[in-house]
Chains A and B, each alone.
Chain A
Amino acid sequence: MKLDISKLDTVLTDYVLPFFGICAWLIFGVWVSSFLARLLYNGLSHRLGADKARAISKGIKFLLIVLFVFSLIRGAGVDITAVLGAAGVAGVAIGFASQTSLSNLISGLFLVLERPFKIGDWIEVDGSNGYVHSIEMLSTYIRAFDNRMIRVPNEMLAKSKLINYTRYPIRRMDLDISVAYKEDAAHVMRIFREVVMANPSCFNEPEPLIVFKGFGDSSMDFLVAVWVDRTEMQATRTSLMKDIKERFDREGVDLPCQRLQMKGGADA
């Protein structure tokens, strides 16, 4: 069997080389787009914040890739208007099929503009609790405290009630503490005040709040509310509870225990 060199040459010239050329141009286009997007992100993240910078740089990268593809199509001699027309029709069809994705995308844009939270904030949404790891085009990733990664669609974030625990630098920490009925309420409140004032992590202003909330089934119930640096909440809670317990032990203040009075016989 003889090999037809002229046909091989035609295949190489008409198909193989253009194919490799297209691939090379595409790879080059994606590489340039990624490089420019990264430069843009580095430049904008300090000024606008990581989440906004990421959204803008990804949008620019997508736009650049689309431009590269269009230039490839034009270079191949294809009529752009016909392609755009076909793309328009396809777009409508795709739109109907991907309503959820579009909704997530638009919700993501609104989240970036409205900024109910930023990367690094501790948020709670729909029962998921953790730090915002990244805000992407369709979803937001939350890193839970046990290092699970939770993906929350942006549409859900936009529609659901969201709690941002780290929006403000200080927070009020409420401690519900009960003591036995036999204790002197004024004495107990004095202990709370002294312990709080002696703890340097409890802010002087806004002033701590100590309230006698009421009478429980087996106890007198108090609220000790102090303002703290949000980064020190857990440590301050621990130190305050420890100090209160130590004072209670030292001054003989009893914690409540459930009491049940039973009557039997003729009195019942």
Chain B
Amino acid sequence: MNSLWYKHECAVGTIYACAIAQLRLWLVRNSQGWLVAARHVTECLFEPLHETAAEPEGAEWQRFITPSATSDVQFVPVLPDRPVVSSPEAHTEIAPRHKGRFFVTIPVWVRVQVLVPHAVTLCEFPTRVMSKTWFGHPAEEGEIGYALTTRARQELSELTDVEGRAICPLLLENHTLEALAFSQLLLSVRHMSVYQTDDGKLWTNECRLGYTGSFLPASLTFGQTAPEQAKGSLLISGPREAPTSGLTARVIAKAIFKQQF
């Protein structure tokens, strides 16, 4: 798993393949650049980049023209291009003026970069196919995001399927005088970075949400460095969008909108 995220030297004319979760990726370097093909399957597998004689099945080549001197390609884990929606493992209530810590695993995307020597991004692919979902009321303010299939857990040890996913430490603070029944949460992952620890696990910076009631949006802040659970980790990729002050988030405290027939 570690070796997936390092740079690889590729010879001209040779087909290379790798598997990252549900993503199957093929690469060929030619005299004018690179050819990339990708598709998704249902089985999860992790295989580092290796030479193969087989042409990609069910995938079409995309051509990228780059400086011909480059022979190195690198796969960089980044977070998805849309927010993700997470639910706790069980019905959860946070007491008034209290906070709860959760851990959410987020499937990463793979950014294919060539080093010329500065990094040039060719393309990006999700490592897992995630269903889209709507967070909010259909006729009011809301956002399209990806629905996470894994649940938000309270203990790190409860996280089982972490390969190809970034662990996001989440602190949910209830600033109100009433218990917060936490049912769903929208995480703006575009403001988060990805770190890697020595054991190969991927982490994001800590996300802190301050809930101040159903009429006001929750405050949203991000840690500036790697979370305390991943001290000494290396920054692998920065946020898609730099976080600014005054960010807000949405927490649906009660039942999600149910459509009526």
Q: Which residues of chain A are near B129, meaning CB under 8 Å?
A: 200
Closest residue on chain B to residue A196 by CB atoms: B131
B123 CB within 8 Å of chain A: no
A-B contact count (CB 8 A): 54
**B131:A206 contact, CB within 8 angstroms:** no
A172: interface (CB < 8 Å): yes
Contact of B138 among A199, A202, A225, A227 (CB under 8 A): A227
Min CB distance, B72 to chain A, in Å?
A: 33
The answer for the CA separation of A204 and B256 in the assembled complex, in Å, is 11
B259 A205 Cβ-Cβ under 8 A: no
Contacts of A206 in B (CB 8 A): 134, 138, 256-259
The 7 closest A-B CB pairs, nearest first, are A204-B133, A204-B147, A205-B133, A200-B131, A203-B133, A206-B259, A200-B129
Are the CB atoms of A229 and B132 closer together than 8 Å?
A: yes
Q: Which residues of B contact A169 (CB under 8 A)?
A: 142, 144
Which residues of B103-140 have CB atoms within 8 Å of chain A's CB atoms? Answer: 129-135, 138-139
Chain B nearest CB from A235 CB (Å) reads: 13
Contacts of A166 in B (CB 8 A): none
Within 8 A of B (CB), among A136-173: 168-170, 172
**Contacts of B34-83 to chain A: CB distance below 8 A:** none
Q: Which of B138, B147, B256, B261 contacts A170 (CB 8 A)?
A: B138
**Which of B131, B256, B257 makes the CB contact (< 8 A) with A202?**
B131
**Can you list 28 pairs linking A and B with CB atoms under 8 Å apart?**
A169-B144, A170-B142, A172-B138, A197-B131, A200-B129, A200-B130, A200-B131, A200-B132, A201-B132, A203-B131, A203-B133, A203-B134, A203-B144, A204-B131, A204-B133, A205-B134, A205-B256, A206-B257, A206-B258, A206-B259, A207-B259, A209-B261, A211-B261, A225-B259, A227-B134, A227-B138, A228-B132, A229-B132
A window 11-57: CB within 8 A of B: none
**Residue from the set B130, B132, B259, B261 with the largest chain A CB neighbour count within 10 Å:** B132
CB of B85 closer than 8 Å to a CB of A: yes
CB-CB nearest in chain A for B257: A206
By a CB distance below 8 angstroms, the chain B residues around A205 are 85, 133-135, 147, 184, 256-257
Q: What is the bound-complex CA distance between A206 and B135, given in angstroms?
A: 8
> Complex Cα distance A204/B139, Å?
16
| Residues of chain B within 8 A of A211, CB atoms compared | 261
B42 and chain A: residue at smallest CB distance: A198
Give the contacts of B184-211 with A (CB-CB under 8 A): 184
Q: Could you say which residues of chain A place their CB within 8 Å of the CB of B139?
A: 168
Shortest beta-carbon distance, A228 to chain B, in Å? Answer: 8
Query: 8 Å CB contacts to B: which residues of A201-256?
Result: 201-207, 209, 211, 225, 227-229
Chain B contacts for A225, CB-based, 8 A: 259
Q: Is the CB of B259 within 8 A of A203?
A: no
Report whether B259 and A170 are in contact in the complex, using a CB–CB cutoff of 8 Å.
Answer: no
A211–B259 CA distance with the chains assembled, in angstroms: 13
B144 to chain A: which residues have CB within 8 Å? 169-170, 203, 229
Q: Least Cβ distance of A237 to chain B in Å?
A: 15
Given contact pairs A168-B138, A170-B138, A203 touches B257 in the complex (Cβ within 8 A): no
CA distance A206 to B138 in the complex (A): 8
Chain A's nearest CB lies how many Å from the CB of B12? 36
Residues of chain A within 8 A of B131, CB atoms compared: 197, 199-200, 202-204
Starting from the known contacts A197-B131, A204-B147, 18 additional A-B residue pairs (CB-CB under 8 Å) come to A169-B142, A170-B134, A170-B142, A172-B138, A199-B131, A200-B131, A201-B132, A203-B134, A204-B132, A205-B133, A205-B135, A205-B184, A206-B257, A207-B259, A211-B261, A225-B259, A227-B134, A229-B144
Minimum distance in angstroms from B136 CB to a CB of chain A: 9
Q: Is the CB of B132 within 8 A of A203?
A: yes
CA distance A184 to B258 in the complex (A): 27
B197 CB, min distance to chain A CBs, angstroms = 30
Interface string of B235-261 (1 = CB under 8 A from A): 000000000000000000000111101
Cα distance A200–B129 in the bound complex, in angstroms: 7
A33 to chain B, nearest CB (A): 40
Please name all residues of chain A whose beta carbon is closer than 8 Å to the beta carbon of B147 when the two chains form the complex.
204-205
Distance A193 CA – B39 CA, assembled complex (angstroms) = 25
Q: Name the residue of chain B whose CB is nearest to the CB of A236.
A: B132
Chain A residues contacting B134 (CB-CB under 8 Å) are 170, 203, 205-206, 227
Which residues from chain B contact A172 at a C-beta distance below 8 Å?
138, 259
Q: Which residues of A contact B132 (CB under 8 A)?
A: 200-204, 228-229
The interface residues of chain A lying within 8 Å CB-to-CB of B142 are 169-170
Chain B residues with CB below 8 A from A168, complex form: 138-139
Report the bound CA distance from A168 to B132 in whole Å. 16
A166 CB, nearest partner CB in chain B, Å: 13
**Bound complex: CA of A229 vs CA of B258, how far in Å?**
18
B195-234 near A? 1/0 per residue, CB < 8 Å: 0000000000000000000000000000000000000000
CA distance A205 to B256 in the complex (A): 8
